[in-house]
Structure 1
Amino acid sequence: MNQTRLSRTRRAPARHSPDPAPADDRGGAEALLEALDPDQREVAEHLEGPLCVLAGAGTGKTRAMTYRIAYGVATGAYQATQVLAVTFTSRAAGEMRSRLADLGVPGVQARTFHSAALRQLTYFWPTAVGGRRPEIQPHKASLVATAARRLGLGTDRAVVRDLAAEVEWAKVTLTLPEDYVQAATAARRTGVAGLEAETVARVLSAYEEAKNERGVIDFEDVLLLQIGILLDREDIASQVRSQYKHFVVDEYQDVSPLQQRLLDLWLGRRRQLCVVGDVSQTIYSFTGATPDYLTGFASRYEGARTVRLSRDYRSTPQVVSLANRVLSRSRRGGGNLRLPAGAVELVAQRPSGPQVRFDTYDDDVAEAEGVVAQVQRLRSAGVPLSQVAVLYRTNSQSEVVEQALASAQIGYLVRGGERFFEREEVKRAMALLLGAARTEREFLTGDLGADVRTVLAREGWSQEPPAAQGAVRERWDSLNALVQLADELASARGIGLDAFHVELMERAAAQNAPSVEGVTLSSLHAAKGLEWDAVLLVGACEGLLPISLAETDSAVEEERRLLYVGVTRAREHLVISCARARQPGGRVSRKPTRFLEGIWPTDSAPGRGSPSRVSARQRSRQAAADFEAAHDPATVALFEELRSWRADVARELSKPAFTVFPDATLRDIAVVRPSTLPQLSLVRGVGATKLQDYGGAVLSLVRKFQEGDGAG
């Protein structure tokens, strides 16, 4: 297949015309809409034609997408097998499949662009090309090094890494080697690996030659070759379009020209497309992604509807306010927010929480010790370690934090380190579960949680965690994560051991790991799409955020969005810190990031990050006082009623009161006053198990209170 011809033809967008709408048989589908807010409901009910959803962080975009698909299937507008939902990570695709399965819609294809293209390419290759599909080269480094050596260039690790990234950028932006110099100059990407643009262009050509000689393809070729097949073979294009009639694309602000071209060919002349994105979370422009397709959607698809999701259910008003101010150009003086074009101003839906904390330290070591102090404070306040994250701009910043946590015997996990399903104890546990499902049926109880506990006890799991730290505790944490997942799935789906093993296999393929007890350490880029109760954002200093390499205005604004992503990962607790020097006794040269100018307290002195001396009882009293000041007497009274009910339940179960529901959840229930189980399930802290155990009692109490309040 001629790659030059392929790249030249793919630049013209396809024209679109509407498909006829299918018959609508709503039946009991309206029940699905009860769990959605008005904006999410508008998304779910728009089943035909182009739809653009501008969804701010924490506004329930995944919920809106999955309920839209489920509603379309329930009304007969969609067939599940004819829907293709495209995400940007295997984890997100796995989560979407899991949510759809919970909604009773298991047949939808939820895949990454690469996974969907590879599946099609593998299937159609024998017909379109003949023989077996070429093997995929998992890493570009060896091919790039070969290309560089042929041109007499250096091949040290840094040079090869930078050139490999440039190969990827050229391919995802549909830039041919002969067009590279002009495109790189326009994108201000000159000087890659210290080389002239003309030299990099020669490397691109030599890379393609080396790849062809080995008879392999790379990850970008998977999309390029499938595009070529769809362009060359109308019969295959028709077959694909008859299979998939409705498309949903998540994280649309991160789509590349290569991915958009493939999407255009999947669609053909149809307009059955829903895209979801947030321009404020555009943080991958350096890889060739562009928000232009999101911001220009209404122009590209005439008559498209745009819906904004602005209700933030994730974070407290304090966190939401800071997130909005980080994006705004008018942070000083308390004036109206002036957000970038297309950005969504978040509106907090949760009750008030603790103030965002800003700490300044003398050096990185002191900052890491401050992280330990904050983690200990949070743990004492009842925040699980699995709900605490330390976020940073560059991976090199994690080392000093890891050392401090290890010295304090606090468990942690580094995102990007060893993957959960690749751990030896997890692989052994999955093998044991499969064996039990196949050979021990007569001994199984049918209670998934109990059966998993019985099986994993042979591998060393126990009801209580071991006193020892280190590898022993990490092994127990891994097994316990499987036990907790079993409890969740048993409650949500009522599945048995066979189906549980299938679920684990699917999660392993998607790297959709369950939560493991331990503080999460992650770069800001890797944290996108995740959330925690508490976020400790370190290194919020000039030179780190924005990174010193961000030299253009657009690069600096992307760094601003990166901070926004970090801030919006926090549900309740947010601590942002900066160290004035790198090493103890080193030159003091850092100052807080410009993105928090006018926000960062001027009295934030070195060492302010020491452990809080406020007792848990004092914090509880302060939270109660804040809640009472912020809400009407009826809401406060309902909260007290809920606390009284919780105390009775806890006494009957001989459990601590917070294990029934923490105060924060009861406050949210008092504010929301849910009237149905789906509405109650939206409240943070009300999982499937608690919904089953306490949902009816809570709704009955709320209903009786409202009747009495109304009568009064």
Structure 2
Amino acid sequence: MLPLKNPKATPEQLVIVTDDDPGAVLIRGAAGSGKTSTALLRLSYLSSYWLRRHARLGVHEPVRVQVLTFNRTLAGYVEQLARLQAPNGISLDLNVATVAAWAKEISGYSGSVLENSSRDKILKHFISQSKIALDPKFLISEIDYLLGRFLPADLLSYLTTERRGRGLSPRVDTPLRQRILHDVVFPYIAVKDKETLFDWNDLALAAMTGDRAGYQVVIVDEAQDFSTNQARAIISHLAPEHSLTFVMDTTQRIYPRYLNFAEAGIARFRRTHTLKRNYRNTREIAAFAKGIVEGLKIDEDGSLPDPATAAISGAKPRVVVGRFSRQMDWIISYLKGPLVNLQDETVGILMINGGGWFDDVRSRLNRANLEFTELQQRRSWPVSDEPIALSTFHSAKGLEFDHVIIPGLREKFTSAEDMSDDDSVLALRRLLAMGVGRARKSVVIGYKAEEASDLVQYFRADCYEEIKL
């Protein structure tokens, strides 16, 4: 991608950046409010603060700094920016990692981790035997939620604890929770123990037992997608005096996890900051994204996109309707036209699924001699000069582009199975709004009318320009 720019603090951000009293701080804000930039500017300020503090107190050990994100692509992006922000010096031990990579390193676990596809196969076996009359995909997400929230010794708390962070439909009452635990979860744990299998939640639990790292500074970005057990693990490695920062917006949560700070060990935050200005999107992009998630229940750690807080105006998002080949014809013309400057601007072409779903897009970009790179699941941020990036929605989380293009938003990507319960619908709406919110200047979405995703019903007619091909 084109070179990253070193962020500069706005007056609103400066108050947060320079808050250097030790303790836990929470930064909230909607998409585009500059949460990640604020966190990285805060990283620079806090690193310098702790270096001075060590020098003043005669402490000779390096200042230990850990920045954690959820996915690999975002980790690569944050690392590039973090290296620009952090002060140089041998007295600073700075590490940027995904929470999974960090947990492996901190726990010393060197074995293999059970991939979700293999885990799901085991769970589906017990779900089938249980004859619970709910969609297996929903039940697996429920199990992911409860295993990530409760410690192994406290799993029975699931029976009586409010299911915060989950949808209201289908209803999961106490008898159903008992069946989920006794017919699926406990047999799954027994299989893991018998066959010495190790899943991603086990990795978080293992990280709690490793030698204490003693971090003076920890920044946790996109914290809404961390589990409570992952937060417990992070908190267990803090130095007695520390600066801990969580950055989150639960409106953008796209995984079936729930982070309860009190359960994780933070009784209260020393200070909570809320970023209110939208520095990324135009008013029109923010209004379109808001329509997609309007009506969702928003908790205190979430924020709906608010066009009133955006500083600039631009064109309405464009929705092109027609066969995929015609969508790509229009998109290629748009990329080569006067509204996109590929010398200085970036373009993110996003799709819900990766792999072969990008084949047609790659072919068309190559035929048009448009240079591109691919971001999905990359651990290192590409330092080449391609202005166009292909990415899944999940890998684009936390990133930003001048232009966002979402071709082929069809039912095949968001099937009836995906829309079969309240939580899945909410997750897909949040995912799409998150993708739209990556854009600074323009948004283009394409779909074929007879294959349209159900998500199209959430497009507000007054918030976009429709182009029929």
TM-score scaled by structure 2? 0.73
Decide whether the 8 Å contact of 2:349 with 2:406 is kept in 1: yes
2:65 aligned to which of 83, 86, 91: 83
Matched residue pairs, number? 432
Shift of 1:41: 0.6
2:111 matched to which residue of 1?
135
Q: Deviations over 1:387-426 (max 9, x none)?
A: 333323445764554565566665655554xx76xxxxxx
Task: Determine which of 273, 284, 303 is the counterpart of 1:307.
Answer: 273
SS of the residue corresponding to residue 110 of structure 1 reads strand
More helix by percentage: 1
The structure 2 residue matched to 1:597, chosen from 456, 460, 466, is: 460
- 8 Å contact from structure 1 (residues 580, 591) kept in 2: no
Structure 1 counterpart of 2:342, one-letter code: P
Amino acid aligned to 1:172: G
1:115 counterpart (101, 105, 118): 101
Residue 175 of structure 1 deviates from its aligned partner by 6.7
CA distance in 2, matches of 1:592, 1:87: 28
1:525 counterpart = 2:405: no
> What is the identity, as a one-letter code, of the residue corresponding to 2:96?
A
Q: How is 1:408-419 mapped onto 2 (pairs within 5 angstroms)?
A: 415-416=375-376
Q: How far has the Cα of 1:378 moved from its partner?
A: 1.8
- From 379, 389, 401, the counterpart of 2:348: 389
2:468 to 583, 606, 617: 606
- The CA deviation at 1:546 is 9.0
Instruction: Supply the distance in 2 between the matched residues of 1:185 and 1:340 (Cα, whole angstroms).
Output: 14
Offset at 1:42? Answer: 0.7
Secondary structure of the structure 2 residue equivalent to 1:374: helix
How far residue 224 of structure 1 moved from its aligned partner, in angstroms, is 0.9
Distance (Å, rounded) in 2 between the aligned partners of 1:185 and 1:56? 26
Q: Distance in 2 between matches of 1:329 and 1:378?
A: 34
List gaps (5 residues or longer) in structure 2: 1-5, 55-61, 130-134
Give the residue type in structure 2 aligned to 1:266.
H
**SS at 1:581 equivalent:** helix
Q: Is the 8 A contact 2:114 2:198 kept in 1?
A: no
Query: Cα distance, 1:343 vs. partner?
Result: 0.9
Distance 1:141 1:282, change over 3 A: closer
Please say if 1:578 is aligned against 2:447.
Answer: yes
CA distance in 2, matches of 1:36, 1:143: 44
Structure with greater contact order relative to length (CA < 8 Å, sep ≥ 6): 2
How far off its partner does 1:249 sit?
1.6
Q: 1:46 aligns with which of 7, 11, 19?
A: 19
Selected match of 2:383 from 508, 514, 526: 514
> In 1, are the aligned partners of 2:278 and 2:311 still within 8 Å (CA)?
yes
* Separation (CA, whole Å) in 1 of partners of 2:160 and 2:145: 11
Deviations 1:166-209, CA, capped at 9 Å, x for gaps? 76545323375974995899666899xxx998488555445444
- Rounded to whole Å, the distance in 2 between the matches of 1:321 and 1:255 is 28
Q: Which has the higher strand share?
A: 2
**Is this contact kept in 1: 2:36–2:247, CA < 8 A?**
no
Amino acid at match of 1:306: T
Deviates more, 1:139-148 or 1:255-264: 139-148
Report deviation, 1:37: 0.9
Cα gap change, 1:161 to 1:136, in 2 (>3 Å): farther
Alignment-derived partner of residue 424 in structure 1: none
SS of residue paired to 1:65: helix
Q: Structure 1-normalised TM-score?
A: 0.51
Shift, 1:61, TM fit: 2.5
Give 1:514 deviation, angstroms.
Answer: 3.0
| Greater Cα shift, 97-106 or 45-54 | 97-106
RMSD: 4.6
Q: Which of 343, 359, 367 is the aligned partner of 2:303? A: 343
The answer to whether the Cα contact below 8 Å between 1:144 and 1:163 also exists between their aligned partners in 2 is: no
CA drift at 1:253: 1.7
Deviation at 1:310, TM superposition (A): 3.0
Secondary structure of the corresponding residue to residue 281 of structure 2: coil
- Distance change >3 Å, CA 246–CA 190, structure 1 → 2: same
**1:567 equivalent in alignment to 2:436:** yes
Residue 88 of structure 1 aligns with an amino acid whose one-letter code is F
Change (3 A) 1:91 1:521: closer
Deviations 1:679-703 (A, max 9, x none): xxxxxxxxxxxxxxxxxxxxxxxxx
Partner-residue secondary structure (3-state), 1:217? coil
Larger Rg: 1
> Is the CA contact 2:401–2:440 (under 8 Å) kept in the aligned structure 1?
yes
Deviation at 1:145, TM superposition (A): 5.5
Separation of aligned partners in 2, 1:144 and 1:34:
41
8 Å CA contact 1:280–1:564 kept in 2: the answer is no
Q: What residue is the counterpart of 1:353 in the other structure?
A: 314
Residue of 34, 43, 62 corresponding to 2:36: 62
**Contact 1:539/1:545, CA 8 A, preserved across alignment:** no
Distance 1:217 1:605 in 2: 50
The answer on 1:375 being equivalent to 2:375 is no
Shift of 1:536: 1.8
How far residue 164 of structure 1 moved from its aligned partner, in angstroms, is 7.6
Distance in 2 of aligned mates of 1:169 and 1:65: 27
Superposed, which structure 2 residues align to 1:677-696 within 5 Å?
none
Residue 92 of structure 1: aligned partner: 74
Q: Pairwise mapping of residues 250-649 of structure 1 onto structure 2 (< 5 A)?
A: 250-267=221-238, 272-284=243-255, 286=256, 288-290=257-259, 293=261, 300-301=267-268, 304-329=270-295, 341=300, 342-343=302-303, 345=306, 347-350=309-312, 352-361=313-322, 366-381=323-338, 383-384=341-342, 387-395=346-354, 398=358, 401=361, 405=365, 415-416=375-376, 510-515=379-384, 517=386, 519-539=388-408, 549-582=418-451, 593-599=456-462, 604=466, 606-607=468-469
Q: Provide structure 1 residue ranges, at least 5 long, that are not aligned to the other structure.
A: 1-32, 123-132, 154-158, 231-235, 331-337, 421-509, 583-588, 608-712
- Taking a change above 3 Å as real, the CA distance of residues 249 and 143 of structure 1, as seen in their structure-2 partners, is closer
- C-alpha distance after superposition, 1:145-164 (max 9, x if no partner): 678889997xxxxx999998
Alignment deviations for residues 305-325 of structure 1 (CA, whole Å, 9 cap, x no partner)? 222223333333432343344
Give SS of 1:576's match.
strand
SS in 2 for 1:535: strand
Instruction: Tell me the distance in 1 between the aligned counterparts of 2:122 and 2:303.
Output: 44
Per-residue CA shift, 1:86-133, capped at 9, x if unaligned?
2223443444443343232463233333333322222xxxxxxxxxx5
Q: CA deviation at 1:565?
A: 0.8
